[in-house]
Amino acid sequence: MAAQVSGQIATVMQEKRLFPPTAEFSAHARVKSLDEYQALWENAAADPSAFWAALAREELHWFEPFQETLVWNEPDAQWFVGGKTNVSYNCLDRNIEAGLGDRQAIVWEGEPGDQCTFTYAQLHEEVCKFSNCLKQLGIGKGDVVSIYMPMVPELAIAMLACARIGAIHSVIFAGFSAEAIADRNNDANAKIQLTSDAAWRRGKQLPLKAIVDEALEKSSTVQKCVVLKRVGNEVPMQSGRDFWWHELMESASSDCPAEPLDSETPLFILYTSGSTGKPKGIKHTTAGYNLYVKKSFQWVFDHREDDVFWCTADCGWITGHSYIVYGPLSAGATVVMYEGAPNHPDESRFWQIVEKYKVSIFYTAPTAIRAFIKWGDEHVTKHDLSSLRLLGTVGEGINPEAWMWYHKTIGGERCPIVDTWWQTETGGIMMSPLPGAIATKPGSCTKPLPGIIPEIVDEAGDLVDANQGGWLTISQPWPGMLRGIWGDEERYRDVYWSKVPGKYLAGDNARCDEDDYYWIMGRIDDVLNVSGHRLSTIEIESALVSHPLVAESAAVGRPDDLKGDAVAVFVVLRDADPNDDLRKTLKQHVRKEIGALAQPDDIHFTNALPKTRSGKIMRRLLKDIAAGKETVGDTTTLEDYSVLAKLRSDEE
């Protein structure tokens, strides 16, 4: 193999299996054929302003109509300029006016088994009441509300209440440390903190209020704190600062008209560090984001009126914002929310929920799917999953063997899988099969949504050939795009717009095959340069996971004087004891699957991989371990520090 042109990445994974939608599924789908998808995509590409303007007028309520669809001064976008709308109104009032007041909006189950349901009318009443509570506490348009709560309905209620009055919410995953909360509060200039006494996680109570109390000692801008009684524990309440949620709600009026807000009014800040670097506050605004998450929800999940939709993410992440709250509720969907862990009280909990609530659309992460595989099929097969008609994946690329298990064991070989690629920054799904129109390939996010123009380029910004990896860019603005990094416009320009002029740099490597299907090849920083060949980590990981004894793997580069990068992999086994013979077997397996070039130099066995709390593998930490360095940089999103400590202690 010849050395690659700078910036291009060799692809070594071959995946040819194709799964077309059934005629029955396509017949009832929103987009029924590849020709129909192609016409929709070409229409959007030919005249994006007309395309999005027509959808905005049809799909959103406007207090005042917009005058201009897009004003674009790179890298700053303004969508639906001059228009006034309200996301909370579009999620609630508009559906009630359409006769959906009695439809179930949120079906919730707590980890201990408690449950409740909110219709659209009931959710509207609760949101209006809490909007008035926020007003009573001095919160108004432009104020930042920090939310550190469990996955309970009140979390969604708080988000919608902020949107209703023009406050900006900053949701922080209820598992971060006090220091991480304080850092985010200070960066956002948060004025009020919402939390609960505690949260349930794997049968234990997490003391959220105690963590918040510590955080507020360092959060100079936070003036008040509202506490939800979730568990019923006694917690210290600071007079004048702390208020009980239920006491405020007792006297609150349910009359709170939605505030007409300019289309570019900030809706939320969401902090992300992903797998690298200092956390950054991604800013999303009102109308464009609302339209994009609603339409992408309808297109990708082929939403129908009788669907029960369950996205297993937490609202502390963008997936929860876009596909638990704002996208589905704008579309009048019925959404399942679950508070706890997938393996409490045992590993069948998710499948109990699917069976109990007759979930028809199930959306989860590859890291969860790999955990399900490791736990064993017996936890799945004892439950009736016949209500499922569509499956989805989100968070990172899914390796083909995990895709096949999902297809067979969860989907019964009858459910299309929508493998979605998108980011906190993009607001909503950018590439995914439309399930009635596009045949799927295991491991590929297939094709871009209407209005999305991806291009794969080398480091010089030139387009690469088919099946050649490079940097994934987006060459045209879209309504759901981020509007900056909160308080750091220079960083916004530098990270996303400076390296490839005129294009948004996603930070991922990708390739496009001969069928115009896209494949994500990992983060740009995760490319290995082995003897002059640039290799994708995700392809090496997929080869390892295709071995029956491997549950999960992560590949990183280790500095090597001869090769440049030596290939180091960290492997989590299913039901096997690590030993040298297995190490040799796995090296040969990779060699057989994708070639000698990608054969690992080092294989490290571990019980778990260090991940962010949203499930992404923190490969930069593994790089440091492989190289024998100390870790540096932000680790506030690491799920379990003990994993990192154990990996260090196990080094040979």
- What CATH number is given to the structural domain containing 604? 3.30.300.30
- The CB-side HSE value for 507 (13 A sphere, CA atoms) comes to 16
Determine the Cα–Cα distance for residues 388 and 518; give it in Å rounded to an integer: 26
| Share of the chain residues as helix, strand and coil, in percent rounded to the nearest 5 | 35, 25, 45
Q: How many CB atoms lie within 10 A of CB 315?
A: 25
Residue 163: is its pLDDT beyond 60?
A: yes
Domain count for the chain, please give it. 1
Contact criterion met (CB below 8 Å) for 420 and 394: yes
In this structure, are strands 564-573 and 550-560 parallel, antiparallel, or unpaired? antiparallel
pLDDT at 519: 95
Contact criterion met (CB below 8 Å) for 410 and 397: no
Q: What angle do CA 94, 153, 160 make, to 5 degrees?
A: 40
Determine the Cα–Cα distance for residues 391 and 393; give it in Å rounded to an integer: 7
Please name the helix (run of DSSP H) or strand (run of DSSP E) that holds residue 540, with its range, or none: helix 537-545
* Residue 570 located in a structural domain: yes
pLDDT at 337: 98
pLDDT at 305: 95
Taking the C-alpha atoms of 596, 601, 606 and 610 in order, what is their torsion angle to the nearest 10 degrees?
-90
**Higher pLDDT among residues 460 and 618, named by residue:** 460
pLDDT at 627: 84
Least confident interval from 202-211, 224-233, 234-243, 395-404: 395-404
- Amino acid in position 372: F
Tokens standing for 298? 């309808």
Residue 617: is its pLDDT beyond 70?
A: yes
pLDDT at 275: 42
Helix orientation angle between 178-188 and 208-216, rounded to the nearest 10 degrees:
50
* Residue 617 located in a structural domain: yes
pLDDT at 276: 43
Contact criterion met (CB below 8 Å) for 519 and 445: yes
For residue 345, whether the previous peptide bond is cis, meaning omega lies within 30 degrees of 0, is: yes
Task: Select from 425, 369, 372, 416 the least CA-distant residue to 397.
Answer: 369
Least confident interval from 203-207, 520-524, 631-635: 631-635
Determine the Cα–Cα distance for residues 224 and 214; give it in Å rounded to an integer: 14
Angstrom CA distances, 647 to 185, 373, 564, 565, 623, stand at: 32, 23, 24, 20, 12
Which of 175-189, 328-342, 396-410, 617-631 is predicted most confidently?
Answer: 328-342
The three-state secondary structure class of 361 is strand
The predicted-structure confidence for 259-269, as pLDDT tens digits, reads as follows 999 999 999 99
Least confident interval from 7-21, 164-178, 377-391, 595-609: 7-21
Q: How many CB atoms lie within 10 A of CB 238?
A: 11
Q: What residues form DSSP beta bridges with 510?
A: 470, 520
Q: What length does the chain have?
A: 652
The three-state secondary structure class of 273 is coil
Determine the Cα–Cα distance for residues 570 and 602; give it in Å rounded to an integer: 8
* Residue 623 located in a structural domain: yes
pLDDT at 2: 33
Question: Rounded mean pLDDT of 619-624?
Answer: 84
Q: What is the DSSP letter of 79?
A: E
* Residue 313 located in a structural domain: no
Contact criterion met (CB below 8 Å) for 540 and 555: yes
Residue 652: is its pLDDT beyond 50?
A: no
* Residue 599 located in a structural domain: yes
pLDDT band at 110 (very low <50, low <70, confident <90, very high): very high
What b-and-e string marks burial along 615-650, b requiring 16 or more CB atoms within 10 Å of the CB? bbbbbbbbbbbbeeeebeebbbbbbeeebbeebeee
Determine the Cα–Cα distance for residues 631 and 648; give it in Å rounded to an integer: 10
Q: What angle do CA 372, 373, 374 make, to 5 degrees?
A: 90
CA 651 to chain centre: 32
Question: Rounded mean pLDDT of 573-601?
Answer: 87
Instruction: Give the E-state strand segments of 122-176 in sequence order.
Output: 144-147, 168-171
Using a pLDDT cut of 90, give the percent of the chain over it.
76
pLDDT band at 13 (very low <50, low <70, confident <90, very high): low
Place of tokens 């004894």: 549
Contact criterion met (CB below 8 Å) for 615 and 271: no
Residue 5: is its pLDDT beyond 50?
A: no
pLDDT at 394: 94
Residue 1: is its pLDDT beyond 60?
A: no
Question: Rounded mean pLDDT of 385-409?
Answer: 94
Contact criterion met (CB below 8 Å) for 283 and 415: no
Tokens standing for 231? 């568990």
Residue 184: is its pLDDT beyond 70?
A: yes
* Residue 453 located in a structural domain: no
* Residue 636 located in a structural domain: yes
Tokens standing for 141? 């348009």
Helix orientation angle between 580-594 and 537-545, rounded to the nearest 10 degrees:
120
Using a pLDDT cut of 70, give the percent of the chain over it.
92
- Amino acid in position 78: Q
For residue 501, whether the previous peptide bond is cis, meaning omega lies within 30 degrees of 0, is: no
**Higher pLDDT among residues 527 and 367, named by residue:** 367
Helix orientation angle between 153-165 and 120-136, rounded to the nearest 10 degrees:
60
Tokens standing for 501? 């002029």
- Amino acid in position 548: P
pLDDT at 4: 40
Q: What is the DSSP letter of 575?
A: S
Contact criterion met (CB below 8 Å) for 151 and 315: yes
Contact criterion met (CB below 8 Å) for 601 and 567: yes
Average pLDDT of the chain, as a whole number: 91
Tokens standing for 556? 């990183």
Q: What is the DSSP letter of 598?
A: G
Helix orientation angle between 287-301 and 48-59, rounded to the nearest 10 degrees:
90
Least confident interval from 244-253, 369-378, 513-522, 563-572: 563-572
Determine the Cα–Cα distance for residues 517 and 230; give it in Å rounded to an integer: 46
Q: What residues make up the domain containing 627?
A: 527-649
pLDDT at 263: 98
Q: What is the DSSP letter of 599?
A: -
Determine the Cα–Cα distance for residues 113 and 110; give it in Å rounded to an integer: 5
* Residue 634 located in a structural domain: yes
The predicted-structure confidence for 316-362, as pLDDT tens digits, reads as follows 999 999 999 999 999 999 999 999 999 999 999 999 999 999 999 99
